[in-house]
Amino acid sequence: MLTVTIVLIGPPAAGKTRVGKRLAKRLRLPFVDTDAVIVSHHGPIPAIFAELGEPHFRMLERQAVEEALSEPGVVSVGGGAVLHPDTQNDLVDASVVLLTVKPEAIAARIANAKRPLVTDLESWKRLVAQRSSLYASLADYTADTSSRPIDAIVEEIAHWIETRNTEEGQR
């Protein structure tokens, strides 16, 4: 069994949770979605933003990320988790996969979604423009989730992880 930490980063609605669950199953690793951890302990994310503000949410997010990265597995982090410098430092020891998605594919994914920082396609585009260079600088591997079947994306990432793990084991 692999003993690696794989972290999925990327903008909201890129598919980090869906890909992460399937990737974890494929690699026989535990899966943690840090947004789900926050919700289970503190309630809905939009309510946290509304009642306590973004700084409080980011503190909770940092705690969830730190805990999730303490064990091998597949970790899906919220789109803004990588804004914290400590999280950026923590990712140095992980295999970081950036999931990207084209704006044309995002409209249906964000319709009726309850995301505090993404209310429509234009707000999503602005957020991605602000963060894209940071995402790219942290990523070891990038996969686009716009239109390909999720199983193909998962296989591609799994192959990269397995190849990388074998190469590092030979060093």
Residue 107 pLDDT > 90, yes or no? no
Mean per-residue pLDDT of the chain:
90
* pLDDT, tens digit, 9 for 90 and up, residues 36-95: 999 999 999 989 988 999 899 999 999 999 999 999 999 999 999 999 999 999 999 899
CA neighbours within 13 Å on the CB side: how many for 5? 19
Query: Where do the structural domains in the chain lie, given as residue ranges?
Result: 5-169
* pLDDT, tens digit, 9 for 90 and up, residues 86-106: 999 999 989 999 999 988 777
Q: Is domain 5-169 in CATH 3.90.226.10, yes or no?
A: no
User: Judging by beta carbons within 10 Å of its beta carbon (0-12, 13-18, 19+), is residue 29 exposed, middle or buried?
Assistant: buried
Q: What is the mean pLDDT of residues 124-128?
A: 88
Q: What is the mean pLDDT of residues 108-119?
A: 62
More confident position, 22 or 120: 22
